[in-house]
Amino acid sequence: MKGPPWPLGFVSFLLFAIPILGVSVPRRTSNNRKSTIQMIGYSPTKTDDYVAVQMQAEAGYIVGFEPIAHADRVHHMLLYGCEVAYSQEQFWTGMATCGSGPSHILYAWARNAPNLNLPPGVAFNIGHEDSSIKVLVLQIHYAQPFVGNVMDYSGVTLHMNDEQPIFLAAVMLFVAGYPIPPKMQQFQSNMSCKYDHETDMHPFAFRTHTHAMGRVVSGYFKHGNEWTKIGKRNPQWPQLFEKIDHPLKIQKGDMLAATCRFDSSNMTETTPMGHMGTNEMCNFYMMFYWEATKPDPFPYGAVCGGNEQPELFGTEYPKEGFELLPPRPELEHTALQSGRPFGIIEEAKIQKIGDITLGQISGLAFDQQKNLFIFHRGSRVWDGSTFDASNHLQDKKPIAEPTLLMTRFDGNTPVLVEALGGNQFYLPHGVFVDVDGYIYTTDVGAHTVTKWKKNGKKLDLVWRFGEEFVPGSDHGHLCKPTGVTKNGDRIFISDGYCNARVVELTADGKYKAQFGAPGTGEGQFQLPHDLVLSPKKTLLVADRQNGRVQELNMEGLVQSVVSSSLFTNIYSSDSFEDTIFMVPGENSYNRFTQDEIPISVYGSRLGTGLLEFAFSPTSERFGRPHVLRVSPDGNHIFIGDISEKGATLWKFRIQHDSSTESHTLSGATYYEKASAAYGAIKNKASTAPLTLTFFLLLGVVAGGIYVWMKKGRRRANPQNAFDRKGFKRLNQEDTVAFFTSDSESD
């Protein structure tokens, strides 16, 4: 395929580079495995910030992609397969992705697209001797800087196996780079090229992309004298890959063509093509497969650039391809891009509520009226003399002052509703309020869990489990129990500092069952310090000294585990929708450099086991976070800090685009629908279409045209200096070995 000479200015904006930190996490189950490439703790410093990270391509076949990102933070992600990466560094800044040699678009994500599962028998070939993909490069585009001290860990998990598929997959990019004159209601930007390869292509999905002026994009191919539509879509709708619901075959000699219709009526100046929001783009993407036994038709990357036969568009190109589609207001609304930056903003640091000075804050809970219950220790401090060697409490006098504060917030100011619990607790730890308003507490000093009924300004005992001041590990005793939660009539207790177990009670406070044991394996614990119920009705246990959160079902079977080399302890966790928030209670240190790693709150997608983002205060560091809870509406995060400098209740506000839909289609559901859609692939001649709800956004052009230029002209990458302003680069070894102390006194 040929293309006309490209203006240097148009190409140059595509050939620049960006730094960050990524990690590969291989996982194997028989022939199937996962490998993850992701950023580590990057915070964009400017509008339209691009970053890239590389890793070696493990030999195998990609059959699915699992995004680790959210549209609140990330504009889009692009995964490239390269023979050589742009830089020898593992991370860099700018738009460049691949270096000399072939470059392939493998995957792209945006707008909370679900997992992508390729059809049965179709896969991307990477890492093998016969594959030109030796390196994977993940490029991420951040539309604007975050608000607050937020770090991003977005990435992609590859689902792979070793079974050679019947079909191999690729993506072809059609791209036009002609500037758009102003004051034109209809301006067409056209692309065409002849397919010259012996191997037949079978398109099974397409995607369109422009910026604000695009009105319709279409793609066709011509075989003999007959034109066949590949796809047509309004680029102002969600820019997903849309399925092609009938078999297509492109053969040698066929003409490929695509066109973008723009409306520049409101413009006063010519609009250039480019990657900035004020520029325009004209892209048509065709996802296709070919028989694996045949030669790769595009070993250097599949790009149709330029316009080999411009006369086709005036005489032959189907008229339908230029015509506007009927309006779809609901789609246009969904696709609107928000200008509001993502952030987690520190709003308040509270050490006193009314006349009450907060003691060590051990527990937090919300009731159905959104009141926040703060469980604190008043004047009592847990230290090395609080218990004897047999875990017996030394001072058996109850704490005189109110330890359970029922509060509501007037803006960022807490208002005391009731002060409860005076002379009723010995060493508070966990608290939970059920839908009927009953309050459940754990007392590590008394070794008990108690159900209370609020009666005016006092707490009336309903029942108590455990023998007061008598630690134990049998069916009638607890030992320093930490957390409590409820699912229906089932009550669960994390027990605790001495016992590495979760105990289940009946609704009337009788022992029913238990699970867990000391250790580091799945389902084992080293100090289960907190537990909450997730939206999936699974238990999230903060396995403190194992430095992880374990998600378990009601019978104790592990569903997922979240851990990271960035921390070695997790004190507390909570969740909202599909995000788990977790916080360490102690600093970690790099084992090699001894550099301290300040405490942050980490966010993970429920069920993935991988970090997505982190945040920390802007005014000062955390002291010793002990408990974390998310407000019922998901807009605020509260953290109880037991710092020696003074107990503090932190309040953070999550700022995000409220119009951006959450992950309403789960990965599991998507896989089922994708598999059903691909059930029609039964032989080499059939094509089953896929609806991929993900965007291939503006950055694709950078890689695509770059490859096209290199193939046609062998033009070298410019050796531009990296812009590292505002970025503290980490070495890979800085993320793999941390340690903390094992203090129990909290």
Residues of the chain with pLDDT under 70: 1-30, 277, 332-339, 590-592, 657-746
Q: What is the pLDDT of residue 562?
A: 97
| 614 and 641 in a common domain | yes
Residue 743 lies in a domain: no
The region that residue 25 occupies, defined by phi over 0 for left and psi between -120 and 50 for alpha, beta otherwise, is beta
What letter represents residue 284's amino acid?
Answer: F
Q: Tell me the pLDDT tens digit for each residue of 304-315.
A: 988 889 999 999
Residue 153 lies in a domain: yes
| 670 and 639 in a common domain | no
Q: What is the pLDDT of residue 332?
A: 67
Q: What are phi and psi of 598, to 5 degrees?
A: -60, 150
Residue 520 lies in a domain: yes
Residue 733 lies in a domain: no
Residue 606 lies in a domain: yes
Residue 535 lies in a domain: yes
Closest CA to 393 of 406, 403, 380, 405: 380
Range of the domain at 251: 8-336+666-717
Residue 737 lies in a domain: no
| 349 and 330 in a common domain | no
| 350 and 215 in a common domain | no
| 700 and 564 in a common domain | no
Question: Which amino acids are annotated as binding site, given as ranges?
Answer: 75-76, 141, 209, 211, 281
Determine the distance from the C-alpha atom of residue 85 to the mean position of all C-alpha atoms in its chain, rounded to a whole number.
24
Q: What is the pLDDT of residue 212?
A: 87
Yes or no: say if 582 and 569 are a contact pair by the CB < 8 Å rule. no
**What global pTM score does this model have?**
0.80
Q: What is the pLDDT of residue 423?
A: 97
Here the CATH number for the domain that contains residue 637 is 2.120.10.30
| 694 and 563 in a common domain | no
Question: Which amino acids are annotated as binding site for Cu(2+), given as ranges?
Answer: 75-76, 141, 209, 211, 281
| 679 and 642 in a common domain | no
| 400 and 309 in a common domain | no
| 365 and 327 in a common domain | no
Split into its structural domains, the chain has a count of 2
* Mean pLDDT, the chain, whole residue set: 84
Q: What is the pLDDT of residue 264?
A: 97
Here the CATH number for the domain that contains residue 73 is 2.60.120.230
Residue 740 lies in a domain: no
Return the sign of the alpha-carbon dihedral for residues 259, 260, 263, 269.
negative
| 690 and 588 in a common domain | no
Per the DSSP assignment, residues forming a β-bridge with 231 are 219
Yes or no: say if 160 and 62 are a contact pair by the CB < 8 Å rule. yes
| 381 and 296 in a common domain | no
Q: What is the pLDDT of residue 717?
A: 32
Query: Can you tell me the distance from the alpha carbon of 429 to that of 243, in angstroms, rounded to the nearest whole number?
Result: 54
Q: Which of 636, 655, 674 is the last residue of a domain?
A: 655
| 624 and 501 in a common domain | yes
